Amino acid sequence: MPDIKLITENLADELIPGIQQASGIYILTSFVMESGVRILAPHLKDALERGAEVKLLAGDYLFVTQPEALRELLLIHPGMEVRLWRSRGTSFHPKAYLFDYMNGQGKFIVGSSNLSRSAFKMGLEWNLSVNAQLEPFTFQEALDKFMRHFYHDQTNALTEGVIAAYEQEYIRNRQKYPELVRQIVEEEETDLGGAAVSGGAVNTDNAVDGGSSSEASALVPRPAQAGALEALENALDEGYNRAMVVMATGLGKTYLAAFFARNRFRRVLFVAHREEILLQAKQSFLHVMPDKSTGLYNGTAKEGEAELVFASIYTLGTKRHRERFEPDAFDLIVVDEFHHAASKSYQALLDYFLPGFLLGITATPERMDGKDVYALCDGNVAYQIHFTEAIQKGWLSPFRYYGIYDDTDYSQLTWLGNGYDEAELLAVQLREEMAERIYDAWLKHRQTRTIGFCSSIAQANFLARHFSSRGAVARSLSSESSPAQRREAVRKLAEGELDVIFTVDLFNEGVDIPSVDTLLFVRPTQSLTIFTQQVGRGLRLQGGKDNCVIIDLIGNYRNADIKMSLFDTGAGGEKGKRSGILPTVPAGCMIDFETGVVDLLKELARKRQPRKEKLLSAYRNLKDDLQRRPTYLELHLHGRENSREYKQEFGSYVAFLGWAEELKPQEQEALASYKDWLLEAEGTGMTKSYKMVLLLAMLERGAERWPQPITAVEAAPFFHRYLTEKEYRRKVDMSDKQSQALLDYNEKKVAALIEEMPMSKWSGSSKGLATFDERGFGFSLDIAVSNREVLYRWTREICEYRLHSYFEKKAE
């Protein structure tokens, strides 16, 4: 042990070994919080049971010590002696931990850490640990002073009566000085019921009613988390090793991951793309699992040895850092903001590690990186809840949406593929009359705390200056702002010292200010994913906040009408497919458009393309995002239009591709030659999944053999395994009396079912394309070698699409 050691983080890692070794343990602390007691209690109890002496002196100064924390101290062990210092208004700020190992051995730690989880695990603290052998006289002097303080006339032995009397004073003081107490408690304790500012972000994932709940109640999963946890447990029980959870911002995705990790996993890696998110996640996980060791891995081997490792994708994106860990080093890997996970840096990480389970969490699963996010979790979305559904359940704040007419003619601006020409856009945005129009709309509808989302730093600065000139307290924040400036601005906004912050994509992810009750959109909506994230910034529940006001400038820019579908509950039909101008919003919400907006949206509706052109446009948008031709399943999962419309309009997805001139000459030839087969694969009826399961069993044999006859006995193992290995499949297609009898594998009975249901019925309805005779079931297809691979690929796409959409529809 070094003679002198400076400890600036994770003090618990120093305290717990001291408690485990010492014969005498003496703790002197200004404040005691429940969370701190829970960290030390099991170790103090073990020490007392092996005969160690334990004395603890806590203070009542400013009534920050929690009465429940004192009660928990009483429950640790009858042999533990606890006293309460009655300060009577006099400052009482000692923080000291003394460990006597006998024979001159021992150490004492003095510094800034009170008895709280924040001080032990997460806070920025400075403590000095000194070896008793180095300063034996000083150590003995510290012990003597401790004992004099411990039995001082201003102390009381802790009893239930003493706690009850203190609790009355505690309650009166909190009522009299609520703001002072709040500030002190936030400094001393970052618990689930409070708001922790870290790196410019405020984390209140599991705060209830704006942070008024006690820590004990906050540690219970909230309703959305409980539902997601149940779904994840089912996924594990069904044999999945990866899944995605899609939860609206404000429902506690990070705490969900922590609760999930606590239940099943020993070693966890949490990956995100921003340090602010990692710091928040570390705090959240420690709230749920205070006894776990944590490490913020930045290339240091020691940090990577922790039970809970938090790492940036930019660190683990490098081969050198990844390979410091064994591929199977983690039982659980959590990827935050999972919609980023299709990028190359994430792909490298996911290809390297072999966790027991991979959990992706996001509020917006829509593609942002040009690839299929769903494929990364094998298409298994364990749980999904949109913000409109969360509002209906009372889990998020209702909104009042005001559409403000923007008379800018965006059709005159140059579209560069992913945005408007910046110089042209600025020319129309940086006008005093535009700024005044925005200010007037804000002044008319705003509440108390506003975030304004801009398209450029120049626009954010311009609007902040204009609002300030009109008397508002406004400032702009961007990537050019320092972390200290961001933290200060967030604090001022949260405390009501700022009216509005104008920002450029800074608060899209990982930054939560529950008290924000007004969102101001002064930019063309180009990404529905980003727009959804930004709307989520205002929907967190908070005491005193009745709703979130959304003020949105709407002009004739791209997606101006499409984004309205985000607010639609789907009460009038399929979610996101509106038949009129106004979406159907949750109860308690409101949408109010200016006349100019109504006229604009009606005009956009009139100009909507004919059906085929609309499908083509949606296809091209998806192809642009993916940078390649979408598979049939990708079109279904991510396309803007209903995938069934492609089949209805063209007969098959491949036929659509031919019409759209998306096929190569060789593929066009294959389409012409095998059009009847593609229509059969797309159109054969499916009251159960059995036909497509049989087809998938045939496809598993590869491109050369798949159409050849297969016997029922040959198909039976795959057929049975596919339908029984996932619970959702068993529930849908193994629920009737006949199939339930086959849950336990019996080759003869399963083969008989296959012969009767998919084989006989398909061959009888296919007009000769499907055959069933003594050789087995097969397809009458004479496939040229040059067409073999492409027809195999198309057939597999159709099969996988139809199976996915079948079970998806049956689960609704």
Q: How many residues does the chain have?
A: 812
- pLDDT value, residue 233: 87
Residues of the chain with pLDDT under 50: 189-205, 207-218, 367-372, 571-579
Alpha helices, DSSP H, located in 561-686 = 595-606, 611-626, 632-638, 644-650, 653-659, 665-673, 675-683
* Residues 271 and 355 placed together within one structural domain of the fold: yes
* Residues 698 and 723 placed together within one structural domain of the fold: yes
Amino acid symbol at 111? G
Tokens of 101: 């190992």
* Residues 228 and 259 placed together within one structural domain of the fold: yes
* Residues 449 and 588 placed together within one structural domain of the fold: yes
* Residues 701 and 800 placed together within one structural domain of the fold: yes
Which of 596, 618, 650 marks a domain boundary?
A: 596
Which uninterrupted H or E stretch holds 536? helix 528-536
Amino acid symbol at 175? Q
Tokens of 583: 């979406």
* Residues 161 and 274 placed together within one structural domain of the fold: no
* Residues sharing a CB contact under 8 Å with residue 153, sequence separation 6 or more, in sequence order: none
Tokens of 83: 């006293």
Does 688 fall in a domain?
Answer: yes
Whole-Å CA distances, 33 to 72, 189, 363: 10, 7, 33
* Residues 463 and 573 placed together within one structural domain of the fold: yes
- pLDDT value, residue 132: 84
pLDDT digits (tens, 9 = 90+) for 489-545: 888 998 999 999 999 867 655 566 888 999 999 988 877 778 888 898 899 888 888
Three-class SS state of 32: strand
- pLDDT value, residue 741: 66
**HEC assignment per residue over 190-221:** CCCCCCEEECCEEECCCCCCCCCCCHHHHCCC
Pairwise CA distance, residues 154 & 561, whole Å: 70
Query: Cα 452–454–455 angle (5° rounding)?
Result: 165
* 590, β-bridge pairs: 400
* 243, β-bridge pairs: 359
C-beta atoms surrounding 754 within 10 Å: 25
* Residues 34 and 131 placed together within one structural domain of the fold: yes
* Residues 409 and 513 placed together within one structural domain of the fold: yes
Q: In what order do the strands lie in the sheet with 268-272?
A: 294-297, 308-312, 268-272, 332-336, 357-362, 242-247, 381-385
160 is in which domain, residue-wise?
4-175
* Residues 376 and 417 placed together within one structural domain of the fold: no
Residue 420 DSSP label: B
Q: What is the tally of structural domains in the chain?
A: 4
CATH of the domain at 573: 3.40.50.300
Which of 365, 385, 405 marks a domain boundary?
A: 385
Which of 363, 385, 407 marks a domain boundary?
A: 385
- pLDDT value, residue 145: 87
- pLDDT value, residue 197: 33
- pLDDT value, residue 193: 33
- pLDDT value, residue 399: 95
pLDDT digits (tens, 9 = 90+) for 543-593: 888 999 999 999 888 777 777 878 887 643 344 444 456 788 888 899 999
- pLDDT value, residue 781: 93
Pairwise CA distance, residues 735 & 733, whole Å: 6
- pLDDT value, residue 70: 96
Whole-Å CA distances, 251 to 203, 221, 533: 12, 10, 13
